């Protein structure tokens, strides 16, 4: 198995070029789930995501823009959008598809962005997970206050991991709690063909856990928009 720092980007390029884009998401306990790059190109069909897209306003920062489907949808509404992704190949795909401002920048680097420059931050496609952990989330939420003005909004999709009966998921969650972690703190990597990407941390939370993560950061969860099954979008507003 070859190591590849941009396995996810290779998935998106394969899909864009009409090649097989099936890949595996591997969890640290060995559990694997199959997905396809097509997932990142089609429109969001669930009601929650459609409602959330309509709530974006002003200058928008799309964190983890992937293949650019949300940036493009917001551009079509006439909004000025900056899409960022740590994957250089993902950013290349975004530009090829027509995203006007797509940049190679990881969520941990948003401190490089100018102060007060975005009115809405979107973290769609379950991208609340990019925070990785509650502690990291709180630091990054402080950075988000710096790059947004009063009245700004974060629209973030997450998944309530507690809404499962899968014994392998439940066992993983129990081990997390025994270690003092949230149930949905995951360690993942992407496998594509003969390539394996690096391990990364991912955070999935219930609405109640999202409120806990936000506590003391200057942001609050105002509304929850159901996205189908355990998925939902949190409408988060800046306090002051």
pLDDT tens-place string over residues 187-225: 999 999 999 999 999 999 999 999 999 999 999 999 999
Closest to 6 in 3D by CA, of 161, 189, 165: 189
Q: What is the pLDDT of residues 26-49, one digit of tens each?
A: 999 999 999 999 999 988 778 888
At residue 11, φ and ψ (nearest 5 deg) are -60, -45
Domain ranges in the chain?
54-183+200-238
Span 99-113, average pLDDT = 97
Enter the pTM of the model.
0.96
CATH code linked to domain 54-183+200-238: 3.40.50.150
H and E: helices and strands count for the chain: 7, 13
Residue 82 has pLDDT above 90, yes or no: yes
Residue at token pair 């990142």: 40
Among residues 134, 128, 131, which one has the least CA distance to residue 225? 128
> At residue 89, does pLDDT exceed 70?
yes
**Model confidence pLDDT, tens digit, residues 154-186:** 999 999 999 999 999 999 999 999 999 999 999
pLDDT at position 46, please?
80
Distance (Å, whole) CA 240 – CA 221: 14
- Segment 5-17 mean pLDDT: 97
> Do residues 197 and 189 lie in contact, with contact meaning Cβ atoms separated by under 8 Å?
yes
What φ, ψ does residue 109 adopt, rounded to 5°? -110, 10
**pLDDT grade for 1, boundaries at 50, 70 and 90:** low
The residue ranges of DSSP E strands in the chain, in sequence order, are 2-3, 22-27, 32-36, 59-63, 80-85, 102-104, 120-123, 153-159, 185-192, 195-196, 200-203, 219-228, 231-238
Q: Whole-number mean pLDDT of the chain? A: 96
How far, in Å, CA of 186 to CA of 205, rounded?
11
Q: According to the model, what pLDDT value does residue 142 have? A: 96
């Amino acid at each position: 198995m070859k190591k590849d720092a941009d396995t996810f980007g290779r998935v998106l390029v394969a899909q864009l070029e009409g090649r097989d884009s099936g890949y595996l998401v591997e969890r640290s306990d060995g559990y694997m789930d199959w997905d396809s790059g097509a997932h990142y190109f089609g429109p969001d069909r669930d009601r929650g995501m459609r409602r959330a897209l309509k709530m974006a306003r002003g200058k928008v920062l799309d964190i983890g823009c992937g293949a650019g489907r949300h940036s493009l949808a917001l551009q079509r509404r006439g909004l000025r959008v900056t899409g960022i992704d740590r994957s250089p190949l993902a950013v290349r795909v975004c530009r090829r598809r027509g995203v006007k401002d797509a940049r190679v920048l990881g969520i941990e680097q948003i401190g490089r962005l100018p102060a007060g420059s975005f009115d809405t931050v979107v973290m769609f496609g379950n991208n609340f997970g990019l925070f990785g952990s509650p502690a990291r989330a709180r630091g990054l939420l402080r950075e988000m206050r710096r790059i947004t003005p009063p009245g700004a909004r974060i629209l973030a999709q997450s998944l309530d991991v507690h809404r499962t009966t899968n014994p392998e998921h439940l066992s993983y969650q129990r081990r997390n709690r025994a270690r003092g972690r949230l149930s949905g703190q995951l360690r993942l990597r992407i496998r594509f063909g003969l390539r394996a990407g690096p391990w990364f941390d991912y955070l999935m939370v219930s609405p109640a856990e999202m409120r806990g993560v936000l506590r003391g950061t200057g942001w609050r969860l105002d509304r929850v928009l159901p996205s189908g099954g355990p998925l939902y979008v949190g409408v988060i507003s800046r306090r002051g």
